[in-house]
Structure 1
Amino acid sequence: MDIISGLPDELLIKILMLVPTKVAVSTSILSKRWEYLWMWLPKLDYGPRNCSESECEKLRCFLDRNLPLHRAPVLESFRLDLCCSRFKPENINMWVLTAVSHCLRELEMMLYESDPAKPFVLPSNLYACKSLVVLKLGGDILLDVPTMASLPSLKTMKLQSVRYFSDKTLPLLLSKCPLLEDLVVDLREDDTPRYLGVVVPSLQSLSLYIPYNNHIIDGFVLVTPALKYFKLMDYNEHYCLIENMPNLIEAYLDVDCPDIKDLIGSITSVKRLSICSKDMLGEGFVFNQLEHLEVCLCMEHSSNQLFRLLKASSNLKRLDISLMRGHVSQGMDDWNQPTTVPECLLSSMQNLNWSSYTGEPQEREIVVYILKHAVHLKTATIKSSSELGVTKSDMLKELELSSRASAACQLMFE
């Protein structure tokens, strides 16, 4: 310990940053040399929310007493993961304001189990923090954004099951973030805005989750021309107005929309697409930049959906066929064999990966069709389902005996 204690303060603080905040604080009892070192930590993490009532009281007393004395001129991050019913709002507000006064760059707050009639309201000063770059909020937090808000440095925001003061709250907050690049919005099943508007010219990554049985939201509008990554999980019937995303690189769509036309029309420039849709893809769409396609097979019409996508993607190089996480197959209908072979099979497709393959006739016919027509196919990897009526070896023999357009294609079975 004497050798370590002789190191410069800057190096000791870096060492303390490698351990949990609670452990770093405990080093204050080692010696006079270590007594106040933890107070220079630029990253503070307090929780967890499942601590006992006595532990929560100790944490409250500790933060009330010590946080105002913290010495780091800049707080790189401040994280609270608390059961807020055991803390008074005025205590939490004071801790947040103290962190903000230290040129806070990242705030992460997860507050749960509050009085439903009295969710926690963030201090208004937080919405004027010039230094804040990352804001992550979750749980029983009510967003009430003042009109004079300004978050000029904010680039990343994650709102997970928070509450909104009004339908205008989220659009107002987004309008105060001129540099925002990464946005995640996970709505609650209830107590959500009726209108979800995301109009952010600078946004590059957007993830939206609208849970089942959310009957409050009427729909959403997206104006994000610079978007590169888009994830939408939406299982409700409502309107969606989406402007074109010409810079989109990757999209993940798990949707149950009454009309998928507007949604698909906005992402036709995408290069990597994962999709599961209850609605059938219409004719006339062209994905001329799509190189990697993943299609979920849980819907009855998924086989015909697959071939419509292949027909629309003339430059496709990789095809993944799978079940998205949490999805269960509803049984595949007979598919309509195309009258013309999709262009991508003749010119560009190099890799086929099929997960949860059962060997059912409909699935086998699709694999055989692709092997028969994919001229430039290099690998076809088939991963069998854990619940099979036939052995892996039998399925492999069936596929090995089928004709292949590509003599170089390696058929692998896992």
Structure 2
Amino acid sequence: MDRISNLPDELLVRILSFIPTTKVAVSTSILSKRWEYLWMWLPKLDYGRKDCPVSECESLRCFLDRKLPLHRSPIIESFRLELCNSVFKPENINTWVETALSRCLRDLDISLHDDTDPPKFPNILPSDVFTCKSLVILKLVGEILLDVPGLVSLPSLKTLKLQRLRYFNEETLQRLLSNCPILEDLVVDLRDYDYESAGKLTVAVPSLQSLSIYIPYYQVLDGIVIETPNLKYFKLMDHSINDHYVFIEKMSDLIEAYLDVTFTDLKSIFGSITPVKRLSICSEAIKPDEDFVFDQLEHLEVCICTLFASADQLIELLKASSKLKSLGISFFDQHTPSGMVFWNQPTTVPECILSSLQSFSWSKYTGEPEERDVVVYFLKHARQLETATIKSSEPSGVPKSEMLNELELSPRASATCQLMFD
């Protein structure tokens, strides 16, 4: 330890910065006089945890009140708080954040958890947050009221993550977004079991590269408006059972999209994402009369839920994707397996199956007749198929050996296709 203590302060602080939590880094102050104040130069501060007991929360509150103002680093790269107890008052958090902001803060991450019923939604953010020139990343999660003042200017903000917050009014989010001129990455997750109407959700950010939106089951919403012409990644999980409109401006540079939606009109989405190259989709509303063409699509992942309503929906997607190279069928996260409907084998074969499809996979394969017929159909018609990967479901009513034998004996259009079974 003596040899380490003789190292320069800058090097010792760098060593401390690799310690996982600030709490542990602070504990090194008891080693010797040499280490007593080194933690005060740490550029990354991480405090609290979700399951923190009351006594520990009280100790943390006292520590931050007394010690944070004494922090010596001229620049705080990141300041993270995860708080879960009423011990932490809004005025406490407000003061701590102000202190961090005064040190050219780049990354602010706050998670606030409230288990009371109904939960409280305090306004914990000082107005300085919304005019911080150094802030690059802002993440807010949990029972927080987002009330954006009239004066907003975040010239350096590139990443914004807003999860399960409550917004002061319908204009709050757009007022914030319209004053982030170089924003690239945005996540907006509305609250579960929040029965108050969110009005219209508007995302109009020309600079945006990545957008992820989650609309929960019971959320009341008038509509969604998205104007992000330079977007490259788009994720929409819209599970709301309440009717609402969707307007999406054309995304000419889109590379990847993830759609998990329950509403019945997909025209507004499909017409905007046709340049996409990678698409993951779960929907029971792909209608045969939809007029859409994915002329750049090479990789398609389809949730088995999409096949539940009608296996014809898969064929409709394939007809619109003439350059498709890989197709995967699986269950998306948190989706529950269920039996597939009868497979009505199409009278014509989509062009991509005949000429471009090289890879096919099925996860959680049960070996039931409906699923087997779909796999056999692809093996029979995919002339350019190189690999067909089947991952069985556990447990399954059909023995693995029986599943494998059925597929091994089925005809294949591609003599070089490798059938792999897991």
With normalisation by structure 1, the TM-score equals 0.97
C-alpha distance in 1, partners of 2:59/2:392? Answer: 53
Distance, in Å, in 2 between the alignment partners of 1:372 and 1:118 is 58
Q: Report the equivalent of 1:4.
A: 4
- CA distance in 1 between counterparts of 2:341 and 2:286 reads 13
Q: Which amino acid aligns with 2:168?
A: F
Q: 5+ residue gaps in structure 2?
A: none
Counterpart of 1:253?
259
Letter paired with 2:102: S
Give the alignment of 1:211-230 within 5 angstroms: 211-214=216-219, 216-230=220-234
The alpha-carbon deviation at position 343 of structure 1 amounts to: 1.0
Write out per-residue CA displacement over residues 265-302 of structure 1, whole angstroms, 9 at most, x where no aligned residue.
Answer: 11111111110102124432111111110111124234
Larger mean CA deviation between 148-157 and 279-288 belongs to: 279-288
1:195 aligns with 2:200: yes
Are residues 1:280 and 2:286 paired?
yes
Q: In structure 2, what is the equivalent of residue 105 of structure 1?
A: 106
Paired residues of 2:44 and 2:76 also in contact (CA < 8 A): yes
Q: Do structure 1's residue 407 and structure 2's residue 415 form an aligned pair?
A: yes
Matches within 5 A, 1:14-413: 14-19=14-19, 20-113=21-114, 116=119, 119-188=122-191, 189-190=193-194, 191=196, 193-214=198-219, 216-236=220-240, 237-281=243-287, 282-299=289-306, 300-413=308-421
**Contact 2:187/2:211 (<8 A) preserved:** yes
The CA distance in 2 between the partners of 1:192 and 1:85, in whole Å, is 27
CA distance in 2, matches of 1:357, 1:143: 45
Q: Deviations over 1:83-116 (max 9, x none)?
A: 2511122111110000000000000001121774
Q: 1:338-391, CA deviations, whole angstroms, 9 ceiling, x for partnerless residues?
A: 232211112111111101111122211111111111111111011111132221
Q: Distance in 1 between matches of 2:166 and 2:4?
A: 47
Provide the rounded CA distance (Å) in 1 between the counterparts of 2:417 and 2:121: 63
Displacement of 1:157 after TM fit? 0.6
Cα RMSD after superposing both structures: 1.4
Cα distance in 2, alignment partners of residues 137 and 390 from structure 1? 47
Length-normalised TM-score, structure 2: 0.95
> 2:305 aligns to what SS in structure 1?
coil
CA contact (8 A) 1:280 1:301 kept: no
Q: Is the 8 A contact 1:164 1:192 kept in 2?
A: no
CA contact (8 A) 1:40 1:70 kept: yes
Q: Which amino acid aligns with 1:249?
A: I
Aligned length in residues: 413
Is the 8 Å Cα contact of residues 203 and 224 (structure 1) preserved in structure 2? Answer: yes
Shift of 1:39: 0.6
Which sits farther off after the overlay, 170-179 or 326-335?
Answer: 326-335
Shift of 1:60: 1.3
Rounded to whole Å, the distance in 2 between the matches of 1:194 and 1:251 is 25
The 8 Å contact of residues 210 and 234 in structure 2, kept in 1 or not, is answered as yes
1:232 counterpart SS class: strand
Structure 1 residues 118 and 350: alpha-carbon distance in aligned structure 2, compared to 1, 3 A threshold: closer
